[in-house]
Amino acid sequence: MRLCRGVQPVMLGIVLSWFVVGVTCADDWPQWLGPQRDGVWRETGILEKFPAGGPTVRWRVPLGGGYAGPAVAGERVFVTDRVLPEGASNPVNPFARDTVAGKERVLCFNEADGKLLWTHAYECTYTISYPAGPRTTPLVADGKVYTLGAEGHLCCLDAVTGKEVWARELKKDFGIRAPVWGFAGHPLLDGRRLICLVGGDGSTVVAFDKDNGKEIWRALSAREPGYCPPMIYEAGGRRQLIVWHPESLNSLDPETGKLYWSEPFTARVGLSLAVPRKLGDLLFITAFYNGPMMMKLDAKKPAATVLWRGTSNSEKDTDKLHSLMSTPFLENGHIYGVCSYGQFRCLRADTGERVWESLVPTGAADEKNRRWANAFIVKNGDRFFLYNEKGDLIIAKLSPRGYEEISRAHLLDPTNTAAGRKIVWSHPAFANRCVFTRNDREIICVSLAK
């Protein structure tokens, strides 16, 4: 049980008074996209607009490189990074797959003041493109924290002490090479199964026992595993594990790995990445080059049919939505997402018809090269918090009527480089009425309390 921040129950009368005055409790953000893995921040008591001088920074501490967002659970903050040996550096060309020595680390900080509580480090030579550091958000559950490094180091650690419970090396264990841009599919915990995107013949997706790391089942074959996090949705009277790799969109039984249905969808350059999103009986995916596809899920059995597809295979001549890394948000019959060159768009979910677009949320209007311009989308109440690649946090209303910006604050300076511009591509965490975000130099906690 989580206690309300600042409240110390010392006698029955005080406990009962909580129900009278309606105290609001703080929430964790223990995994990718939050507690329910849906990109919704459900805390209340959040500010309506940023103060003139910007929100209060509660703490900031140094950090190494990486794209991995933080997780917040049990008054602790978990994040992964990478540090290089003294005098070493990453290749000037981020696309190069040079061999570069270094260490990946899992770090645990005290949520209240940013004090470093423990570090778990291991040697990790990089062979991937864009080698700043790890990609996946830690997953925290039942006193354990699970992390997946960019070269396939899968770790289970004691969340209190940082002691290793078990570990796997996916490249060695499955005889595979790291994907071009590293292992990036955020693991999914389902009961005792830790479900991970792996790769290889018959092992594109693998379920491990969360307590000992032993394999429970493996499924699917593809030339490349892609980078898309596995998701579980209820449809057709079954819980369906959705796995999108660069050759097809697939539904499996999460308990056994048995295939329910599969729809061919070729994603160029292995770029199956943005999380599949469900809205009612609709299931939506979107790719940078190949655009979107909308599936209609059967109401009576685990099956699906194509409702519509995009008609363009071009990153520039886009007709609907060609997302790269930003997870779209679906609600009230519409899709909100970021297209290939930073166009924040609204589409009709039933047809894919474009309703409006704006370059304001991503800040792409000011860039000569807008390729891959990005903003992450999280909903809170009746508005959205958009965190863009410039390090700006935006409060906005999104509706079919258009984009309505309410307030904006600069949180962090972008420290990495992509497409000739400075960027920060790390998804923030929202917990305890704060936002936690990082670049390649530091992690900060910023109060968003009303």
Q: What percentage of the chain reaches a pLDDT higher than 70?
A: 94
Q: Where does the pLDDT of residue 31 fall: very low under 50, low under 70, confident under 90, or very high at 90 and above? A: very high
Task: Give the mean pLDDT of 147-162.
Answer: 98
pLDDT tops 80 at residue 2: no
For the segment 430-446, what is each residue's pLDDT rounded down to a tens digit? 999 999 999 999 999 99
Q: Where does the pLDDT of residue 42 fall: very low under 50, low under 70, confident under 90, or very high at 90 and above? A: very high
pLDDT tops 90 at residue 366: no
pLDDT tops 50 at residue 234: yes
Domain ranges within the chain, ordered by starting residue: 1-15+24-62+281-450, 68-134+136-183, 188-272
Question: Which residue type occupies 345?
Answer: R
* Alpha carbons 126 and 101: distance in angstroms, whole number: 6
Question: Which residue type occupies 261?
Answer: W
Query: What is the third-level CATH fold of 188-272?
Result: Thrombin, subunit H (2.40.10)
* Alpha carbons 425 and 278: distance in angstroms, whole number: 24
Task: Give the mean pLDDT of 313-326.
Answer: 95
Same fold yes or no, 68-134+136-183 and 188-272? yes
In the CATH scheme, what is the code of domain 68-134+136-183?
2.40.10.480
Residue 25 has a pLDDT of: 63
Instruction: Map tokens 């570990």 to a residue.
Output: 167
> CB-based contacts of 98: which residues, under 8 Å, 6+ apart?
90, 91, 126, 127, 131
In the CATH scheme, what is the code of domain 1-15+24-62+281-450?
2.40.128.630
pLDDT tops 60 at residue 98: yes
For the segment 194-217, what is each residue's pLDDT rounded down to a tens digit? 999 999 999 999 999 999 999 999
For the segment 350-363, what is each residue's pLDDT rounded down to a tens digit? 999 999 999 999 99
Residue 8 has a pLDDT of: 40
Residue 404 has a pLDDT of: 98
Q: Where does the pLDDT of residue 26 fall: very low under 50, low under 70, confident under 90, or very high at 90 and above? A: confident
Bigger pLDDT: 24 or 252? 252
Residue 9 has a pLDDT of: 40
Q: Where does the pLDDT of residue 230 fall: very low under 50, low under 70, confident under 90, or very high at 90 and above? A: very high
> What's the whole-model pTM score?
0.94
pLDDT tops 90 at residue 20: no
For the segment 264-303, what is each residue's pLDDT rounded down to a tens digit? 999 999 999 999 999 999 999 999 999 999 999 999 999 9
Residue 11 has a pLDDT of: 37
Task: Give the mean pLDDT of 221-232.
Answer: 98
Residue 413 has a pLDDT of: 97
Instruction: From residue 418, give the alpha-carbon distance in Å to each of 287, 306, 319, 421.
Output: 19, 34, 24, 6
Task: Give the mean pLDDT of 31-56.
Answer: 98
